[in-house]
């Protein structure tokens, strides 16, 4: 397989996904915030809440429209660039994407029209319902997409059909309600809520800097800060759940996240660290860190719920030999690769026996295939070295995400304290801090996806199908060309959105209220 084709196909998909994720979190977060503000309007009857909701709704609409365009391209790339993947698991992977399109997307498309154009045409409560149903539809859309992605991380509820050479769904609910899917959904949506809250606070603080729409800004900041703090606390909880799921289902990803080359009991969690660039191999002799500060035993507690539990490192996971929780001995990567090759050969022999109508041989090869299928994907790997994900990128992305998440919690707390003391209006330094925190929230979200996707390499589907066996048979030059076309297109869309958003923000809400009173 042409490595250039694989690299460019991965780069193109990563490009599309990262641009798409610039729009999705704001949709999820800002949608809830505007619905809360409209709820306050319906409950109190105060016109300023209506004006506030309408302003944020305008920004929501600008962002939503461009997010849809990038999302559609992302789904089409499964067929164009990853056709082997689509063939192999399309019966499973396609189901949640189909539900997302038929149910969630159409739900959004239906009610968003009422939300924007029905202010004077339907009752207050009917309009409020359309607003909530629009954001519920957007959240359900995220749910089904994240279920599909989570299945790639933890393939459940399936069986392999050697007659069609496809994986088929056995248990829909095992796919939809897997612990990985539920935790990933909650964690991802909550990160969008934090991004939306940061955006609202940052934009509102810009108005305070300009001494415009002060009352509007303070109302928005109060809603955004409370909402953001609640979301951040819940994000800590789901983050803990994510770490546990990764430890159980993708231990090599966890080891890369922590730069853990050799396993240990009572493993510490790295708070801050600098990796040693000379450590380039899982079995090298160089020290893994130039510098680190760690929390003693915390990684063992997060990964196994026991402070003295053994957490395997990359070397342990590749070489095997350690004792698993069920008392069995962990297989080495070479043993898994051997079993994978046996499974691939058994599949080929089964199909030959089927062509010859040799039922006895079919049964024999099918039994061999079933026994070794859990390691099927390993058979495509040339060496154990391919199992190690990019350690530096995974480690730093994870720790940037955690550090920025902690910073945003402090931002929400500081904002609420200044609001409570009625000191926020005069604190220009805080206005600048809030304003420049907006890109940091986006960086944290992007870092989270880098951990999730780069950390599971070389797998397209964990243990079942590596990326090397997933790509379409294309010319690398064709993928390279479309990569740069998409780069130009998405950049133009992003610049257009930013310009339209900035213009709308400069115009401000449709209100002349400049009072400093917090209502």
Report pLDDT for 1.
59
Indicate if the pLDDT at residue 504 is higher than 90.
yes
Q: pLDDT digit string (tens) for 339-361?
A: 999 999 999 999 999 999 999 99
- On the question of pLDDT at 131 being above 90, the answer is yes
Domain boundaries, position 366: 333-384
pLDDT in tens, 461-498: 999 999 999 999 888 999 999 999 999 999 998 999 89
Binned at pLDDT 50, 70 and 90, residue 519 comes out as very low
How many domains does one find in the chain?
Answer: 3
Tell me if 515 is assigned to some domain. no
Residue 266 confidence (pLDDT): 94
| Furthest-apart CA atoms within the chain: distance in Å | 86
Q: Are 459 and 485 found together in one domain?
A: yes
Does residue 174 sit in the same domain as residue 74?
yes
Q: Is the pLDDT of residue 176 over 70?
A: yes
Identify whether residues 476 and 412 lie together within a single domain: yes
Check whether residue 228 and residue 265 sit in a common domain: no
Same domain, 94 and 115: yes
Query: What are the angstrom distances between the C-alpha of 394 and each of 82, 307, 451?
Result: 23, 24, 5
Q: How many CB atoms lie within 10 A of CB 369?
A: 21
Residues 218 and 88 in one domain: yes
- Is the CB of residue 106 less than 8 Å from the CB of residue 138? no
pLDDT of residue 95: 87
Summarised one tens digit per residue, pLDDT across range 264-315 is 999 999 999 999 999 888 888 899 999 999 999 999 999 999 999 999 999 9
Q: Examine the domain organization and report whether 214 and 313 are in the same domain.
A: no
Q: What is the mean pLDDT of residues 214-223?
A: 95
Q: Please check whether residue 27 lies inside any domain of the structure.
A: yes
Task: Please report whether residue 518 resides in a domain.
Answer: no
pLDDT at 514: 43
Average of per-residue pLDDT across 159-166: 91
pLDDT at 517: 37
Nearest in space to 111 (alpha carbons), one of 92, 128, 123, 99:
128
Q: What is the pLDDT of residue 510?
A: 79
Residues 417 and 493 in one domain: yes
**Distance in angstroms (rounded) separating the CA atoms of residues 138 and 65:** 12
Tell me, yes or no, whether 326 lies in a domain: no
pTM: 0.92
CB 94 within 8 A of CB 75: no
Q: Is residue 519 part of a domain?
A: no
Euclidean distance between CA atoms 282 and 268, whole angstroms: 19
Asked if residue 76 is part of any domain, the answer here is yes
Q: 264, 296, 319 — which closes off a domain?
A: 319
pLDDT of residue 70: 78
Same domain, 496 and 404: yes
Do 458 and 407 sit in the same domain of this protein? yes
228-252: average pLDDT: 95
**Torsion (CA) 197, 203, 209, 214 in degrees, nearest 10:** -80
The Cβ of residue 497 has, within 10 Å, a number of other Cβ atoms equal to 18
* pLDDT in the model for residue 369: 95
- 158 in a domain, yes or no? yes
Residue 515's pLDDT is 40
Is 517 within a domain? no
Helix, strand, coil percentages, rounded to 5, for the chain: 70, 5, 20
Phi, psi (rounded to 5 degrees) for 423: -115, -5
pLDDT at 273: 93
The answer to whether 513 and 48 have CB atoms below 8 angstroms apart is yes
CB 2 within 8 A of CB 476: yes
Residue 107 has pLDDT above 90, yes or no: no
**Same domain, yes or no: 480 and 502:** yes
Lowest mean pLDDT among 64-73, 127-136, 184-193: 64-73
On the question of pLDDT at 512 being above 60, the answer is: no
Q: Is 266 left (phi over 0), alpha (psi -120 to 50) or beta?
A: left
Let me know whether 238 and 294 are in one domain: no
Using the predicted structure, report yes or no on whether residue 80 has a pLDDT greater than 50: yes
- Rounded to the nearest 10 degrees, the angle between the axes of helix 428-454 and helix 3-20 is 140
- Rounded to whole angstroms, the Cα distance separating 496 from 67 reads 12
């Amino acid at each position: 397989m042409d490595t250039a084709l694989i690299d460019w196909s991965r780069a193109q998909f990563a490009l599309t996904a990262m641009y798409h994720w610039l729009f999705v979190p704001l949709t999820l977060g800002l949608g809830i915030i505007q619905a809360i503000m409209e709820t306050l309007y319906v409950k109190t009857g105060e016109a300023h809440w209506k004006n506030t909701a309408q302003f944020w709704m305008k920004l929501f609409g600008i962002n939503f429209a461009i997010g849809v365009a990038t999302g559609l391209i992302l789904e089409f790339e499964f067929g164009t660039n990853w056709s082997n993947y689509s063939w192999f698991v399309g019966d499973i992977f396609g189901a949640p994407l189909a539900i997302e399109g038929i149910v969630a997307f159409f739900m959004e498309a239906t009610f968003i029209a009422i939300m924007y154009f029905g202010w004077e045409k339907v009752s207050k409560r009917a309009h409020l319902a359309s607003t909530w149903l629009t954001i519920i539809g957007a959240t359900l859309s995220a749910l089904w997409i994240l279920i599909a992605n989570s299945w790639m991380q933890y393939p459940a509820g399936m069986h392999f059909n050697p007659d069609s050479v496809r994986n088929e769904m056995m248990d829909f609910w095992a796919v939809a309600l897997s612990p990985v899917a539920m935790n990933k959904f909650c964690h991802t949506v909550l990160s969008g809520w934090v991004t939306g809250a940061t955006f609202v606070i940052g934009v509102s603080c810009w108005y305070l800097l300009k001494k415009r729409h002060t009352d509007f800004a303070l109302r928005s900041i109060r809603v955004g800060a409370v909402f953001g703090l609640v979301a951040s606390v819940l994000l800590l909880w789901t983050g803990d759940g994510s770490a546990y799921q990764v430890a159980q289902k993708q231990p090599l990803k966890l080891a890369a996240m922590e730069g853990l080359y050799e396993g240990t009991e009572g493993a510490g969690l790295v708070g801050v660290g600098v990796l040693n660039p000379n450590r380039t191999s899982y079995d090298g002799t160089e020290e893994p860190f130039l510098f680190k500060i760690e929390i003693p035993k915390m990684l063992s507690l997060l990964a196994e719920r026991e402070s003295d539990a053994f957490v395997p490192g990359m070397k342990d996971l590749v070489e095997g030999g350690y004792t698993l929780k069920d008392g069995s001995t962990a297989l080495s990567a070479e043993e898994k690769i051997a079993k994978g090759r046996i499974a691939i050969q058994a599949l080929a022999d089964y199909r030959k026996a089927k062509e010859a109508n040799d039922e006895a041989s079919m049964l024999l090869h099918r039994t061999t295939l079933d026994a070794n299928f859990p390691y099927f994907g390993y058979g495509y790997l040339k060496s154990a070295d391919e199992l190690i994900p990019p350690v530096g990128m995974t480690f730093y992305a994870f720790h940037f995400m955690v550090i920025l998440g902690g910073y945003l919690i402090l931002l929400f707390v500081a904002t609420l304290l200044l609001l409570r003391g009625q000191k926020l209006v005069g604190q220009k330094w805080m206005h600048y801090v809030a304003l420049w925190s907006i890109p940091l929230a986006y960086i944290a979200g992007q870092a989270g996806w880098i951990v999730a996707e780069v950390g599971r390499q070389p797998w397209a589907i964990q243990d079942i199908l590596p990326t090397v066996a997933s790509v379409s048979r294309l010319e690398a030059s064709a993928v390279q060309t479309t990569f740069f076309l998409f780069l130009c297109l998405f950049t133009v869309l992003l610049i257009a959105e930013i310009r339209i958003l900035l213009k709308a923000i400069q115009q401000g809400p449709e209100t002349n209220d400049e009072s400093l009173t917090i209502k």
